[in-house]
Chains A and B, each alone.
Chain A
């Protein structure tokens, strides 16, 4: 190092070492001609190093900060994902307890995909059904949480209490309750039906009553079906929309009141300023909430396809089938998000654009 003819290499090396020196360095000569020095590999290395200005070298520090995630992703998550994909195209031969080897299926590499897509009538139907109910739920959840956020944004007494209560399901109502209650329902079906019918005769405001009402008003079947499904699923909707509600509420509070004030001065009614000010200002959050709701509803416990996959693993121990199905499902979700996001994005109003 000491006999190198470049005076400022010391300085450069002192600051940062983002690029390692070449491992095999050529033998250093005592004296260089200019031409030789310029074409020396180490000069090129140094030149390259000097091109990284201070901010670039500073940015290399970022790698140290994200190192935990990089290790976790590259050494634990990604191998597991690849292994899962290999499961889906191979037979798993278990031998000696928990040891296993993978063998190519005799009926072809895509055998399990074939089973899932062609031979299993339930799977494709399940995907369509969960997608349909998901799209319906997304619309209802967005409307519901926007409505609730608007109400909570008013100056009503006990606002913070209501806010805390509406967010409660996000914390406490998760997988374990669903699992345990699921157990209750299956063992106790008869009593549930009894209780339901007892409740139905007692109140006017129930699904059946509304169905009757809608039939007598001659509202068409599709619309009444949607309304009835929404009412039947009301508890599910309420428990699913805690996060969305808080996001909307924060968005509403960030809209400057002076916009409303000037609109009122110009003679806008509350209704007009809601559609002309609130909705455009909050539309980026509608996009955020839509994506969040889609992902949430696809991964949550109780999703039809997820349950089927879980059942394949826990009851039939057919890991290859389950892996193939979950990859198909993943692709469907990916495609759906890729379609929905640009569509919703068209209606989003960006202030700074």
Chain B
């Protein structure tokens, strides 16, 4: 993988060298255009990071500083009061545990089911494949808001194949818990799963068929080939999918609000609302202070994800470019 990636870079630098020698006299042009690129890129990076930097600065302001109009970003009196108060309002550690649990569970399940489905679409030409794949794309295109209410009703009066009626005597309510997430993840219809199926399908189509044939000749069944030969090859791609599913589940507000609101199991994205509910009890409330609390809350939700991104950044970016959407 690395060899193929390095090669074009090497060639390109040779090409660039040629270009440079050709316009040796215009070395200044090269230098200034590089400089211009850096200026543009630094400007854009600054725009992207600015909201986070701003919130980080506000987090350290003390209550007096927030009221003081001469303090803009750098605090006069450093304090961690805002941080402490926000964490209390969000019940930070409890909801962080909930979020991690929910995200790990659903991202792993989603990756497994999507890999299985994508492999089926990529390698088997069964009748009706076109129609079923069109259904995958349909799920991608229909905004989740369209089926929001009916999905909620579906899980509130859950009656899958009549089994709950058979066992418990009546449809059961499985909302306010993780069951809707598990069900939707296992059946590959959760948030953005169609995109993962599409990416993985393109990836599997790129693998050589010889691997499969060799496995069959050596006596593996279809699932044997899949688990023992195909999955090890797909690990980098699956890591990408796990990371995407994890981070999009982390920041998901829509399904969490739909299925978990009002229950005991509250993830971070819902506890952001708790900050707003927490405000009236505080006597020192000012708009500035409220903004600082919400800003710190956002920062606290994003922080673990940010760390994850710094560690797994390579997979996020490479996954999309190597998924074969391109080729």
* Residue ranges of A at the interface with B (Cβ–Cβ < 8 Å): 58-66, 68-73, 75-77, 79-81, 83-84, 87, 98, 100, 148, 151-152, 154-157, 162-172, 174-177, 179-181, 183-184, 187-188, 191, 234-235, 238-239, 243, 246-247, 249-251, 253-254, 256-258, 260-261, 264, 285, 288, 295, 298-299, 301, 306, 309-310, 313, 319, 322-323, 326-327, 329-330, 333-334, 337
User: Are A76 and B126 in contact, CB atoms less than 8 angstroms apart?
Assistant: no
| B41 touches A (CB below 8 Å) | yes
A-B pairs with the 6 shortest C-beta distances?
A72-B187, A62-B124, A65-B120, A250-B321, A83-B150, A62-B126
Task: Report yes or no: B41 in contact with A162, Cβ–Cβ below 8 A.
Answer: yes
Q: Which residue of A lies closest to B320 (CB)?
A: A246
- Contacts A254-B327, A257-B12 given: A64-B47 contact, CB under 8 Å? no
Among A65, A179, A180, the residue within 8 A (CB) of B226 is: A65
Interchain CB contact under 8 A, A246 and B321:
yes
> Can you pick out 27 interface pairs between chain A and chain B where the beta carbons lie within 8 Å of each other?
A61-B124, A62-B121, A62-B124, A62-B126, A66-B117, A73-B132, A73-B189, A76-B151, A76-B189, A77-B189, A80-B151, A81-B150, A84-B146, A84-B147, A84-B149, A156-B34, A172-B251, A172-B309, A176-B252, A177-B251, A183-B276, A260-B15, A264-B18, A264-B22, A323-B150, A326-B146, A330-B146
Taking beta carbons and an 8 Å cutoff, which residues of B are in contact with A?
8, 11-13, 15-16, 18-19, 22, 34, 37-38, 40-41, 44-45, 47-49, 51, 113, 116-117, 119-121, 123-126, 129, 132, 135-136, 139-151, 153-154, 156, 160-161, 183-184, 186-189, 197, 222-223, 226, 247-248, 251-254, 269, 272, 276, 287-288, 290-291, 294-295, 297-298, 301-302, 305-306, 309, 313, 316-317, 320-322, 325-327
**CA gap between A148 and B298 in the complex, in Å:** 28
For B52, the closest partner residue in chain A by CB is A172
Question: Do B142 and A330 have beta carbons less than 8 Å apart?
Answer: yes
Residue pair B141, A295 in contact (C-beta under 8 Å)? yes
Shortest C-beta distance, A198 to chain B (Å), equals: 10
Supplied contacts A65-B120, A69-B188, A327-B146, 7 more A-B pairs, CB within 8 Å: A62-B129, A63-B126, A69-B197, A164-B313, A172-B309, A261-B15, A306-B143
Closest Cβ–Cβ distance, residue A99 to chain B (whole Å): 8
Residues of B within 8 A of A181 (CB): 298
B272 touches A180 (CB 8 A): yes
Let me know if B120 and A66 touch, CB within 8 A.
yes
Residues of B within 8 A of A59 (CB): 124-126
Cβ–Cβ contact A75 & B161, under 8 A: yes
Are B47 and A234 closer than 8 Å at their CB atoms? yes
A298, B222: Cβ atoms under 8 Å?
A: no
A295 to B, closest residue via Cβ? B141
B-side contacts of A260, CB under 8 Å: 15
In the complex the two chains form, what is the Cα distance from A102 to B236 in whole Å? 49
Chain A nearest CB, measured from B262 CB (Å): 12
A298 touches B148 (CB 8 A): no
Tell me, rounded to whole Å, the shortest Cβ–Cβ distance linking B211 to chain A.
15
Q: What residues of B have a CB within 8 angstroms of the CB of A313 in the complex?
A: 145, 148-149
CA distance A161 to B160 in the complex (A): 48
Which residue of chain B has its CB nearest to the CB of A250?
B321
Chain B neighbourhood of A298, CB < 8 A: 143
Name the distance in Å between A82's Cβ and chain B's nearest Cβ: 8
- Say whether, besides A65-B124, A69-B136, A165 and B47 are in contact (CB < 8 Å): no
CA distance A65 to B204 in the complex (A): 13
Partner of A171, one of B156, B298, B316: B316
What's the least CB distance linking A273 to chain B, in Å? 11
Contacts of A250 in B (CB 8 A): 320-322, 325-326
A72:B321 contact, CB within 8 angstroms: no
What CA separation (Å) do A306 and B303 show in the bound complex? 28
Contact in complex: A98, B41 (CB < 8 Å): no
Is the CB–CB distance between B8 and A257 below 8 Å? yes
Beta-carbon contact of B298 and A180 below 8 Å: yes
A166-B44 contact given A250-B326, A260-B15, CB 8 Å threshold: yes
A148 to B38, CA, bound (A): 11
Residues of chain A within 8 A (CB-CB) of B317 are 163-164, 167, 246
Chain B residues, CB < 8 A from A98:
156
Report B-chain residues with C-beta under 8 Å of the C-beta of A191: 287-288
Q: Does B188 lie within 8 Å of A81, measured CB to CB? A: no
Chain A residues within 8 Å of B254, by CB = 175
B305 touches A172 (CB 8 A): yes
CA distance A72 to B110 in the complex (A): 12
B139 in contact with A299 (CB, 8 Å): no
A181 to B156, CA, bound (A): 31
* Measured CA separation A65–B45 after assembly (Å): 43
- Known contacts: A83-B153, A165-B48, A309-B145. The answer to whether A68 contacts B116 by CB under 8 A is yes
Q: Which residues of A contact B297 (CB under 8 A)?
A: 180
Min CB gap A59→B, angstroms: 5
Please give, as numbers and ranges, the residues of chain B lying within 8 Å of A83 by CB-CB distance: 147, 150, 153-154
Partner of B187, one of A71, A152, A334: A71
Complex contact B120–A64 (CB within 8 A): yes
Q: Give the docked Cα–Cα distance between A156 and B34 (Å).
A: 7
List, in ascending order, chain B residues with CB within 8 A of A157's CB: 38
B118 to chain A, nearest CB (A): 9
Asked whether, in the complex, the Cβ of A299 is within 8 Å of the Cβ of B272, the reply is: no
When chains A and B are docked, how far (Å) is the Cα of A145 from the Cα of B297?
31
A77 adjacent to B139 (CB under 8 Å): yes
Check A285–B326 contact: CB distance below 8 A.
yes
* Beta-carbon nearest neighbor of B322 in chain A: A250
Interface pair B142/A176, CB less than 8 Å apart = no
Which one of B40, B151, B223, B272 contacts A151 once the chains associate, using CB atoms below 8 Å? Answer: B40
Chain A residues within an 8 Å CB radius of B116: 65-66, 68
The chain A residue sitting closest to B323, CB to CB, is A250
Residues of B within 8 Å of A249, CB to CB, are 321
